[in-house]
Structure 1
């Protein structure tokens, strides 16, 4: 009975009290009767409150003075699990993730709001507006977990891979044959999960969209990590998860794009002021269509200087515009 009494007091304070809305002893007493059908004396409740203030308690009970009656104490449990801004971050991440269906989004947000008191939960009622549609993917969570487990266990994985066609039909590549790869890491980039992997028998590293994978399975085949491969460095050199040839890259930008470049490459980027309203950026990166299309985003305000392969790719892509708007 004593344990049940203490748990009831903890649940009552966790649910109904907060720093902004603490509870008096009589309010705690009323809630315990209403919700838990526990008729406790003032002395019993004070005993539990005293324990919650002791060093033996894992909870942090705070006290204050009732604004309406300065002689009366009020109580609330400090939320040691999540602060309101932390819950907001988690809710917004769930809301913006396209691979989480709307129904699952609603369930997760409901659970996240249940991790705090009622007052704070109401402050979290305004949800993030997401601008892109969500896509429900069968077994997506299981696939992500399988990949993480395979990476940890240093096991290969196999899966089917596909894309939608213009009729919105999901068509499997290789006529449904399985890909077998060495999984190097999982990356979340621009609202999508990617698997960074090497296909069996090949050296080239490829990025696979996990929402385009199906029938993901961990195999019994083991693999040995390459000590010279740095996953974080590799990912930082990619543009929009496109694979390509790694090279030293030089690009020129108008000065108004300095914050765009810093957002993409960080404050440590090698930048040189050209004193003509433009600046030079030199980086090690992957030459790919992802980089070409990123540069074309900025029109004539961005220019590729080297390597020659990148310049040729830019010319070819720009040439495709000729006659497009006639």
Structure 2
């Protein structure tokens, strides 16, 4: 009973008190009676508060004089697990993630808000406005966990893969046949999870959208890490998650796009002012349609200089665009 009494006082303070809004002894007493069905005397509550203040207690318990009644003490427990802005970051990331269903989003946000006291939780009641629709994906959480577990154990995985057609039917590739791959790692890019993997019998490393995978199974085959392969370095050279040949790139940009280049390549990106309102970026990257379409995002403010293969790909894609409007 005594232990239950202490836990009730701790729970009351953790839920209803904060540094900005501490509780008086009488407020604690009323909450214990109404919310916990405990009728405790002032002496009983003081005993528990005294323990929380002692060296034996592991709680971040604080007491001070009331701002409105200087003859009265007020009390609160400090929530040290997360700051308010940290909880907000977690909530916003979950709200923005398209692969987390609306139902799971609400449940996760509710759980996150329980990491703090009730008054602070109310400050987190407004949610991020979502700019894009969320999607329902069966067994998505199970698939993510199965992939991470296989990577941890250096096991290969098998899965089915597919995509939507124009009738919005999800069709499996290879007539429903399984892909068997070496899973190097999982990344989160452009609001989607991707698996970076190499299919058995093929040399190229590819990217697979995990929300398009189903029936992820751990294989009985094991794999060892490739010497010299750096996953982060590999991913940094991709554009829109397209695979291709790595090459030295030279691209001219209009000066107003310097922030775009820094956002994509970082402050250490090799750039040179050309003095004509443009600058040159030199970087290693994957030559792919992903890069072509990324460059076309900026219209005439971006120009591919080399390699010749990229320049030719740009010309062909521009001709295709022009053909749509003739």
TM-score calculated relative to the size of structure 1: 0.98
Shift of residue 53, structure 1, vs aligned partner: 2.1
1:216-245: CA deviations, max 9, x gaps? 011111001012110111111110111000
Greater mean alpha carbon deviation, residues 112-121 or residues 139-148: 112-121
**1:45-194 equivalences in 2 (<5 Å):** 45-194=45-194
Partner of 2:321, secondary structure, is coil
Aligned match of 1:238: 238
Q: What is the aligned partner in structure 1 of residue 8 from structure 2? A: 8
Report what 1:36 is aligned to.
36
**Count of aligned pairs between the two proteins:** 326
1:199 aligns with 2:163: no
* Deviation string, structure 1 residues 136-177 (Cα, Å, up to 9, x no partner): 100000000000000000000000000000000000001110
Q: Distance in 2 between matches of 1:64 and 1:254?
A: 60
Aligned mates of 1:219, 1:7 — CA distance in 2: 47
In 2, the alpha carbon distance for the partners of 1:50 and 1:86 equals: 31
- Does residue 316 in structure 1 map to residue 316 in structure 2? yes
For 2:247 and 2:51, the matched residues in 1 are separated by 65
Alpha-carbon deviation of 1:64? 2.2
- Once structures 1 and 2 are overlaid, which stretch shifts more, 210-219 or 49-58? 49-58
1:300 and 2:300 equivalent?
A: yes
Cα distance, 1:80 vs structure 2: 1.1
Give the whole-Å Cα distance in 2 for the aligned partners of 1:214 and 1:104.
19
Q: CA deviation at 1:272?
A: 0.7
User: Residue 277 of structure 1 aligns with which residue?
Assistant: 277
After TM superposition, give the deviation of residue 81 of structure 1 in Å. 1.2
Structure 1 alignment gaps of length 5 or more: none
- The 5 A counterparts of 1:195-274 are 195-274=195-274
Match of 1:287 in 2: 287
The alignment yields a C-alpha RMSD, in angstroms, of 0.9
With the length of structure 2 as denominator, give the TM-score of the two structures. Answer: 0.98
For residues 142 and 96 of structure 2, the distance between their equivalents in structure 1, rounded to whole angstroms, comes to: 20
What is the CA–CA distance in structure 2 between the aligned matches of 1:54 and 1:200, rounded to whole Å? 62
TM superposition outliers: structure 1 runs of 4+ over 3 Å: none
For structure 2, the residue ranges without an aligned partner over 5 or more in a row are none
Secondary structure, counterpart of 1:322 in structure 2:
helix
Distance 2:314 2:94 in 1: 37
Task: Give the superposition deviation at 1:55.
Answer: 3.0
SS at match of 1:98: coil
